[in-house]
Amino acid sequence: MKKIINDPKNVVSEMVDGLVRAYPQYLTQLPDTEAMVRSDQESMRGKVGIVSGGGSGHEPAHAGFVGQGMLSAAVAGQVFTSPTPDQIYAAIKAVDQGRGVFLVIKNYSGDVMNFDMAKDMAELDDIQVKSIVVDDDIAVKDSLYTQGRRGVAGTVFMHKVLGAAADQGASLDELEQLAQQVLPQIKTIAVALSAATVPEVGKPGFELKDDEIEFGVGIHSEPGYRREAVKPSKALVQELVGKLDEEIHLDATHQYAVMVNGMGATPLMEQYVFCHDLLDELATKKIEPAMMKVGNYMTSIDMAGLH
């Protein structure tokens, strides 16, 4: 294993320190935590705070989305491990402006449990807290760490929609209603060419042969639904769009925001080749995305693949 790190045990603390010091205009670290809040606290006055987070290894999620019109705070757990309730609680307290705090939680049992515990702690301090559990991955149900579907890259859309609404003055109840409307509209699916390597483990989470890919993997190297020989980009697009179409019944009369999300080790060159084929495939259905994003938004350390 080759990594640009020091001691694997210090990866998260050193990463957070480097991130905050690189972007002090956006991020401030809460003392004795791995929680980061918006540096422009003045602009949050009178608004509902939006807090998210999860295990590290998914950068730029979640701290990369702290800022105007998005998250008020993000909490980084250890690699692929939920942040602790006390750190989440610290983030909630730090961003509460008297109108409450809304939590965006990815559907993993550790995240759900720890964010719920932090929510209970905050409510004992008379801070109103509501939440949504994002479960956008259509690949499998009841995978490792999960009851129901996993929360993955689609969570970024939830950050953006709720963050923008909170910035415009939406109330806590209005944000809850909006989140419940948005949730069933977000659907994602992945393909992996190689697994992620957790620094403290030192080996990939699963093994794929040189000529093998896996459809439907999760962002913690959870298993997907099928392995087979590597295919050209066009065939990958047909498989993944086909699965999404079965789920949401793509309709040319609707508008869609589309994201091609790199998993960490996939070059942008390959992401744009996939995008080329994806847009061609959607065009056969007379669909032109209203918004398009291509890049690394929620990664899986060094996994090669797309979401």
Residue 76 and residue 121 in contact, taking contact as beta carbons nearer than 8 Å? no
- Clarify whether 58 is annotated catalytic: yes
Residue 58 and residue 219 in contact, taking contact as beta carbons nearer than 8 Å? yes
- Give all strands of the β-sheet with 73-79 in edge-to-edge order: 27-29, 35-38, 73-79, 49-56, 101-106, 129-134
- Clarify whether 159 is annotated catalytic: no
Residue 193 and residue 204 in contact, taking contact as beta carbons nearer than 8 Å? no
Cβ burial, residue 194 (10 Å; 0-12/13-18/19+): buried
Distance between CA 275 and CA 261 in Å, rounded?
Answer: 10
| Helix/strand/coil for 91 | helix
Tokens in use for 301?
A: 């350390």
AA letter at 64: G
Q: Spot the catalytic one: 58, 62, 159, 307.
A: 58
Q: Spot the catalytic one: 159, 220, 254, 307.
A: 220
Pairing outcome for strands 129-134 and 101-106: parallel
Residue 300 is classified by DSSP as -
Q: Which residues are catalytic?
A: 58, 220
